[in-house]
């Protein structure tokens, strides 16, 4: 759309959040780059191959209790009234008929033994034990492969590794693993009013690029946080072209329809703008595009709007590109402490603080208005999403609080 026409028309039509996200994800493909990593560096990474256990766990039959390894048939019929007397063999590697061998929890089960009598169930001397209760074959024994069988499938491609997964992989004898490389994201803050530090009147310290870059890292990507780019078409064009080697490009600022909002036009010149204007609040002046198969996310300059759109668009794109599962954020039910208004037809995200009271969890809006108030995000615990079909929520109503700062 020509510059003047775009500014005149404004955002008369806004795409729904679901449609906008679908259009973006439809043009995004997962990358195919992999690498081998030692297990201690693989936490949070996506598995790239099917993993099966090369070895069983445990890899030997072992005693599951402190006591005496025996042949179960030698204890048949044992009771307080008719105990069984067995010869103890402390140093022998095998258990013969009529004998028992002292074992500890985790000890290898001696050859010939097929059960363990717990130490509290016998009367022991240096040379014999008296068994007062029969044991069955396999009782108090951990068999080879009881935890993990050799060849057992463990993980499929796309599984995001957790610390417990790494422990399991080490237990089956693996020391390194093939994972997908982290998606690369170029983060380009824009705006001639932005400075790195010590702002004069009319200047603002750049924070959006920093915030987005840190979320990229938290969500499983690798961010390159670029220097501030002025509102100049040639400079913006060069910045985008430089980062076309990345999996994703994110710009912050300059996404609306003002005189200095040039990013959508530059993207349209280099490729295609898929969506410009989404029916969400705050953050409707977001743009989504693609240039040479690289998705471009044009995030608004107001900090809250920028953050919201990063969560709703950048996160799912990054997850798809990197083969990472797009887990849901944790949620809790809470009671609103005051009325929460909303505009019908627009999905509204309201920052809230939560507090546990005697009556349950309560949610209080931090600030209903003000997309430029960064502190309202930093001080919030989460947000309440008001759907397009609602005109808000009443005081005392039960709502769902989404804890978007928590990594699921």
Instruction: Reply yes or no: is the peptide bond before residue 282 cis, omega within 30 of 0.
Output: yes
pLDDT of residue 162: 95
| Mean per-residue pLDDT, 83-108 | 88
pLDDT of residue 230: 93
Examine residue 148 and state whether it is found in any structural domain, yes or no.
no
Residues 176 and 280 in one domain: no
Is pLDDT above 60 for 328? yes
pLDDT of residue 319: 96
pLDDT of residue 131: 94
Token pair of 7 as six digits: 């500014």
- Residue 382 maps to which CATH number? 2.40.340.10
pLDDT tens per residue, range 17-46: 999 999 999 999 999 999 999 999 999 999
Least confident of 216-220, 305-309, 336-340, 402-406: 402-406
CB 402 within 8 A of CB 380: no
Residues 197 and 166 in one domain: no
pLDDT of residue 261: 86
Examine residue 93 and state whether it is found in any structural domain, yes or no.
yes
Examine residue 91 and state whether it is found in any structural domain, yes or no.
yes
HSE-CB at 144 with a 13 A cutoff on CA atoms is: 10
The torsion angles phi and psi of 198, rounded to 5 degrees, stand at 50, 65
pLDDT class of 408 with cuts at 50, 70, 90: low
Helices 263-270 + 233-242 axis angle, to 10 = 60
pLDDT of residue 313: 97
Is pLDDT above 50 for 2? no
Is pLDDT above 80 for 244? yes
- Residue 130 maps to which CATH number? 2.170.190.11
pLDDT tens per residue, range 179-234: 999 999 999 999 999 899 998 998 899 999 999 999 999 999 999 999 999 999 99
Residues 288 and 396 in one domain: no
Residues 126 and 175 in one domain: no
| Tokens 């983060």 -> residue | 187
- Residue 263 maps to which CATH number? 3.40.980.10
Residues 80 and 67 in one domain: yes
| Mean per-residue pLDDT, 3-7 | 56
pLDDT class of 9 with cuts at 50, 70, 90: low
Examine residue 147 and state whether it is found in any structural domain, yes or no.
no
pLDDT class of 374 with cuts at 50, 70, 90: low
What CA–CA distance (Å, rounded) separates 175 from 257?
A: 53
What CA–CA distance (Å, rounded) separates 386 from 41?
A: 40
Residues 167 and 202 in one domain: no
pLDDT of residue 404: 86
pLDDT class of 379 with cuts at 50, 70, 90: confident
What CA–CA distance (Å, rounded) separates 155 from 47?
A: 7
Is pLDDT above 60 for 276? yes
pLDDT class of 1 with cuts at 50, 70, 90: very low
pLDDT class of 327 with cuts at 50, 70, 90: confident
How many folded domains does the chain comprise? 4
Examine residue 293 and state whether it is found in any structural domain, yes or no.
yes
| Mean per-residue pLDDT, 61-86 | 93
CB 261 within 8 A of CB 202: no
Residues 38 and 73 in one domain: no
- Per 3-state DSSP, what percentage of the chain is helix, strand, and coil (rounded to 5)? 20, 30, 45
Residues 251 and 305 in one domain: yes
What CA–CA distance (Å, rounded) separates 280 from 303?
A: 15
pLDDT of residue 373: 55
Residues 137 and 98 in one domain: yes
Q: How many of the other CB atoms lie within 10 Å of CB of 175? A: 9
Residues 38 and 99 in one domain: no
| Mean per-residue pLDDT, 277-282 | 94
pLDDT of residue 89: 75
Structural domain that includes position 162: 34-53+153-180
Is pLDDT above 60 for 55? yes
- Quickly list DSSP for 109-157: PPBT--EEEEGGGEEE-SSEEEE-S---TTTTEE-TTSSB-TT-EEE-T
HSE-CB at 372 with a 13 A cutoff on CA atoms is: 5
How much of the chain exceeds pLDDT 70, in percent? 93
This prediction's pTM: 0.85
For the chain, the average pLDDT equals 91
Residues 193 and 173 in one domain: no
Sign for the CA dihedral angle at 308, 309, 310, 313 comes to positive
pLDDT of residue 396: 95
């Amino acid at each position: 759309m020509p510059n003047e026409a775009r500014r005149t028309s404004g955002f008369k039509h806004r795409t729904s959040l679901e449609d906008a996200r679908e259009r973006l994800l439809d043009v995004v493909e997962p990358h195919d780059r992999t690498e081998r990593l030692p297990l201690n560096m693989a936490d949070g990474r996506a598995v790239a191959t099917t993993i099966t256990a090369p070895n069983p766990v445990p890899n030997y039959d072992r005693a599951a209790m402190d006591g005496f390894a025996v042949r179960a048939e030698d204890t048949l019929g044992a009771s307080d009234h008719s105990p069984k007397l067995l010869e103890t063999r402390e140093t022998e590697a095998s258990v013969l008929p009529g004998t028992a061998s002292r074992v500890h929890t985790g000890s290898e089960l001696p050859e010939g033994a097929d059960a363990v009598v717990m130490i509290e169930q016998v009367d022991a001397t240096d040379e014999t034990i008296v068994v007062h209760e029969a044991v069955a074959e396999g009782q108090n024994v951990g068999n080879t492969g009881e935890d993990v069988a050799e060849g057992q499938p463990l993980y499929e491609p796309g599984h995001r590794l957790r610390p417990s997964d790494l422990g399991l992989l080490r237990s089956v004898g693996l020391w390194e693993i093939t994972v997908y490389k982290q998606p690369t994201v170029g983060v380009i803050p824009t705006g001639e009013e932005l400075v790195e530090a010590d702002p004069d009147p009319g200047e603002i310290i750049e924070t959006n690029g920093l915030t987005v870059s840190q979320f990229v890292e938290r969500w499983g990507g690798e961010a390159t946080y670029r220097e501030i780019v002025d509102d100049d078409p040639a400079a913006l064009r060069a910045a985008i072209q430089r980062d076309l080697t990345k999996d994703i490009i994110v710009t912050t600022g300059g996404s609306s329809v003002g005189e200095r909002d040039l990013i959508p036009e530059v993207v349209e010149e280099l490729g295609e703008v898929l969506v410009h204007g989404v029916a969400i609040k705050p953050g409707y002046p977001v743009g989504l595009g693609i240039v040479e198969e690289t998705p471009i996310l044009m995030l608004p300059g107001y900090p809250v709007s920028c953050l919201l759109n990063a969560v709703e668009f950048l996160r799912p794109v990054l997850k798809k590109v990197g083969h990472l599962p797009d887990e849901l954020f944790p949620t809790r039910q809470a009671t609103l402490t005051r009325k929460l208004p909303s505009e019908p037809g627009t999905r509204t995200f309201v920052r809230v603080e939560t507090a546990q009271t005697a009556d349950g969890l309560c949610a209080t809006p931090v600030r209903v208005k003000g997309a430029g108030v960064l502190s309202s995000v930093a001080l919030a615990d989460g947000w309440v999403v008001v759907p397009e079909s609602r005109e808000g929520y009443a005081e005392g109503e039960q709502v769902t609080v989404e804890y978007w700062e928590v990594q699921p």
